[in-house]
Each structure stands twice: as C-alpha cells, then as structure tokens.
Amino acid sequence: MSHVDFSVSISDCREEHFRGSGNGGQKRQKTSSGVRLTHEPSGVQVESEAGRSQHQNRVDALTKLANHPKFRAWCSMHSQARREGFASMEKKIDAAMDEDNLKIEITDEHAPEEAHCDVKE
C-alpha cells in the first residue's frame, strides 16, 4: 500500500483571532490570542486558546486540524481520487455523475394520483 502525504498550507484555511477566556489574567483577556482555523475545502473548523500567545495557539490549532477525523477522511478521499488519476475529488464526482454512468428507473407500480412511500421496519 502506498502512502500519499498531504500538505496543507495556512492559505488553505480561514484564520480568525479571538480573545481568550478563563484563567490567565488581564493579558489573556485583553489580547486576541485565540486562533480559529477553518479548512475551507473540507469544512473542518478547529480552535485553540490554551496558550497565551497567538503563535502557540496557531501551532496547536494546526495540530488539531491534522488529527481531526473529518479532515483525515477528506485527505483519504482526495488521495484515492489522485491515485485513480483524477485531479481532485470534484473531478471524480463530475465523472461519476456523467449521464452514461447514471441509471434512472421509472416504474409504474402505483397510480399517479397515489402518494406512495415504502418504509422499511
């Protein structure tokens, strides 16, 4: 099994800063040292306000992002798409949604006036 590494730069993320809360005194409550990162392609959002410095919190937030299950699943899907020869997951989805790959069945089991819903129990 081959291993594909993903690199995510800070430019892939939307970064927001906010003021910390809790213990830490005036320094923590007056400075915007909390960091919230949103990885736009995957939609994963993480934040850190554990440290007193913005740099320390940014590193912590990036670590949380790298270990987030949804982000790992996103990386796995994109790695698979690239191994299959697609430039991105979106290209793979577009190929799968091509008219030649879709199967549409119309059945006439019920009269058009009837609303019918099968419920499995």
pLDDT at 61: 92
pLDDT in tens, 88-119: 667 777 776 776 766 666 666 655 555 555 54
Q: Tokens at residue 121, please?
A: 């129990």
Domain boundaries, the chain: 8-67, 69-101
DSSP code at position 51: S
Q: Tokens at residue 101, please?
A: 């790959």
pTM of the model: 0.62
pLDDT in tens, 60-89: 999 999 899 999 888 888 777 777 777 666
DSSP code at position 98: S
pLDDT at 1: 47
pLDDT at 15: 92
CATH class of 8-67: alpha beta
